[in-house]
Structure 1
Amino acid sequence: MTDFHQSTRGKPRVALVTCADRAALEADDRLVLGPLAERGVLAVPAVWDDPTVDWAGYDLVVLRSPWDYILRPDEFVAWAAGVPRLANPADVVRWNTDKRYLDELAAAGVPTVPTGWVLPGRPWRPPAERGEYVVKPAVSAGSQDTGRYDLADPHHRDLAEAHVRRLGAAGRVAMVQPYLTAVDTEGETALLFLAGPHGPAFSHAIRKGPMLAGPDEGVADHHRPEEITARTATAAQLAVAERTLAAVPGGSGRLLYARVDLIPGPDGTPVLVELELTEPSLFLGYADGAPDRLADAIVTHLSRGGA
């Protein structure tokens, strides 16, 4: 029999945290419900900003799809700090929700895409260098409020400036990165890690096709449909992912899950685009056994008392 913390009500109870728009969970997240039930764990969806939820009544609270927090990040971080037995932990959430963590990882030796930051109210002019750049908010989910600009085009330069001003006017920090053109051919690789007895263990990888088709003018969808396929991770990608996880403040051993997003840099070697530790899609449906591995990871955390 599995030895894990047992709720006084019988079966261990796990909350899978979502948002009101996805109150029944994403289809991918629902794949873990059966494997958890097989392991004697009752898992239920719970909306993060629902004031009627008793978070202390759960043996573990697992962040999954609370994706509407991006316009209320301070409220979300404060909520996380008040939730006992949260996975991933609240201090990880506070650090990871703002993509300025990329500077810390770069300082720790992780190869990352070069990133500039524009604080609200600060002036910004596009770089003099030609080439394509991406502008997006430092707190974001998916590709919302993200645009791709060809700085050889004067109109695109104007649109990039307007994008940064629009973010600043909303009190949001803007981030500016060179567009890594390898994404158009090689795509982006997401490496998924799930908790094991000795820390995060590699589970599976997927390929995401290019999504950004052009500028974000704040009025219409400018993204291509998301294309996801299974992918075999290379040794070089795994090495960068391991180096990234080793640099997580407080250690990676506390993590229930991690997603490391990589794109080939100009020389073809993988560079980190994002480290997703708060509410990443885990793409459970793209790898045999992935729902079971997540269920085992949750059981592992329950055995630690939710720590």
Structure 2
Amino acid sequence: MPTPHPGGAPGEPRVALVTCTELPELEDDDRLVFGPLAALGIRAEAVVWDAPGVDWTAYRSAVLRSPWDYATRRDEFVAWAATVPVLANPADIVEWNTDKRYLEALTASGVPTVPTTWVRPGEGWTAPLDGEYVIKPAVGAGSVDTGRYDCADEEHRRLAAAHVARLSTAGRVTMVQPYLADVDTAGETALMFFATPDGLGFSHAIRKGPMLTGPDYGVEGLYRTEKITARIPSDVERTVAERVLAAVPGGPERLLYARVDLIPGPDGSPVLVELELTEPSLFLGYADGAAERLAQAIALRLG
């Protein structure tokens, strides 16, 4: 059942912050928006996306926050999204963005992305004899089922091939990407954007430290633990992020929020590793005013 934030008053517009069974009251970071929403006269409730009996029409908006169990149930999740009025972000964006093959469309539009080989179920794949690679599913969240392999090592080649075979057997498309070594020192830059009266506007950014240290041996829980610090993005990173958002189907003005994840490419220039438009962590606690900016974006969309 919905979990209201204490202090909500009758008659206030209601907003659902959508989560999953494992996180019925949301992550602590997501809960930071409750206070700013209440200050704007908006009653927020944490609601599990697949909970039975939820009347989604009772909410002025349903904001996807932490439904992180969707990866193994994507078809069900996409079908559910299509039934929810005033979903943020929109259901067609959810369908597009929950399969990382959206990177193909962004690459075709001229966005700099990490080079990716796609291995579909039933297709053969042979590990290269050298180089480091990242292997992960095209539908996934929280870096689960993701590993890093040094293909100069015979055992890593065996494990890499087994990883691809495991995903293929499960009917999942596999992504194989070169591991870009500068991420070990520079880390990954995630830039957050929220809706404003003038369109999607930059809010803040964080640095993610390197996470992948070797092959995938499984992860307990919904996601891998990340090392996060605040970061001021470079002008070049801001420019690349804006290019990414300009290529979103239907335009970025349709979005309530977006997160653009960049890493240094082979020449040091930023390239897109992921565009998070469905249920990204927004790291509200790492920048002054971030929770207030998200609350204002939600209020703006209520009209």
CA gap of 1:69–1:224, structure 2 versus 1, over 3 A, is closer
Aligned position for 1:90 = 91
Deviation by residue 1:226-281 (Cα, 9 ceiling, x = unmatched): 21000001000000000000000011101000000000011000000000000000
Are residue 36 (structure 1) and residue 37 (structure 2) matched? yes
Q: Per-residue deviation at 1:10? A: 2.2
Matches within 5 A, 1:20-59: 20-59=21-60
Aligned position for 1:228 = 228
Are residue 142 (structure 1) and residue 142 (structure 2) matched? yes
Write the distance in 2 (CA, Å) between the matches of 1:16 and 1:226: 23
Aligned position for 1:60 = 61
3-state SS, counterpart of residue 296 of structure 1: helix
Opposite residue 13 of structure 2, the aligned amino acid is: P
The alignment's TM-score, normalised by the length of structure 1, stands at: 0.93
Q: Per-residue deviation at 1:126? A: 1.6
Matches within 5 A, 1:184-203: 184-203=184-203
Opposite residue 175 of structure 2, the aligned amino acid is: M
Aligned position for 1:153 = 153
**Is contact 1:189–1:208 with CA below 8 Å preserved after alignment?**
yes
CA gap of 1:224–1:63, structure 2 versus 1, over 3 A, is closer
Write the distance in 1 (CA, Å) between the matches of 2:241 and 2:220: 34
Write the distance in 2 (CA, Å) between the matches of 1:123 and 1:75: 28
Residue identity (%): 70
**Is contact 2:17–2:62 with CA below 8 Å preserved after alignment?**
yes
**Is contact 2:209–2:226 with CA below 8 Å preserved after alignment?**
yes
Write the distance in 1 (CA, Å) between the matches of 2:103 and 2:128: 20
**Is contact 2:133–2:178 with CA below 8 Å preserved after alignment?**
yes
Opposite residue 83 of structure 1, the aligned amino acid is: V
Aligned position for 1:126 = 127
Aligned position for 2:272 = 272
Q: Per-residue deviation at 1:127? A: 3.0
Are residue 168 (structure 1) and residue 175 (structure 2) matched? no
3-state SS, counterpart of residue 204 of structure 1: strand
**Is contact 1:163–1:217 with CA below 8 Å preserved after alignment?**
no
Are residue 241 (structure 1) and residue 260 (structure 2) matched? no
Write the distance in 2 (CA, Å) between the matches of 1:230 and 1:285: 9
Write the distance in 2 (CA, Å) between the matches of 1:164 and 1:123: 9
CA RMSD, 1 decimal:
1.4
Write the distance in 2 (CA, Å) between the matches of 1:298 and 1:182: 36
3-state SS, counterpart of residue 95 of structure 1: helix
Opposite residue 49 of structure 1, the aligned amino acid is: D
Write the distance in 1 (CA, Å) between the matches of 2:37 and 2:200: 19
Opposite residue 114 of structure 2, the aligned amino acid is: V
CA gap of 1:141–1:220, structure 2 versus 1, over 3 A, is closer
Runs (4+) of structure 1 exceeding 4 A deviation are 218-221
Q: Which runs of 5+ in 2 are unaligned?
A: 1-9
**Is contact 1:212–1:224 with CA below 8 Å preserved after alignment?**
no
Write the distance in 2 (CA, Å) between the matches of 1:199 and 1:157: 46
3-state SS, counterpart of residue 67 of structure 1: coil
**Is contact 1:210–1:224 with CA below 8 Å preserved after alignment?**
no
**Is contact 2:145–2:219 with CA below 8 Å preserved after alignment?**
no
Q: Per-residue deviation at 1:123? A: 1.0
The alignment's TM-score, normalised by the length of structure 2, stands at: 0.94
Aligned position for 1:4 = none
Write the distance in 1 (CA, Å) between the matches of 2:276 and 2:43: 26
Q: How many residues align?
A: 293
**Is contact 1:213–1:224 with CA below 8 Å preserved after alignment?**
no
CA gap of 1:98–1:219, structure 2 versus 1, over 3 A, is closer
Opposite residue 296 of structure 2, the aligned amino acid is: D
Opposite residue 104 of structure 1, the aligned amino acid is: A
3-state SS, counterpart of residue 69 of structure 2: helix
Aligned position for 1:260 = 260
Opposite residue 21 of structure 1, the aligned amino acid is: E
Aligned position for 1:3 = none
Write the distance in 2 (CA, Å) between the matches of 1:295 and 1:231: 22
Opposite residue 301 of structure 2, the aligned amino acid is: H
Are residue 76 (structure 1) and residue 83 (structure 2) matched? no
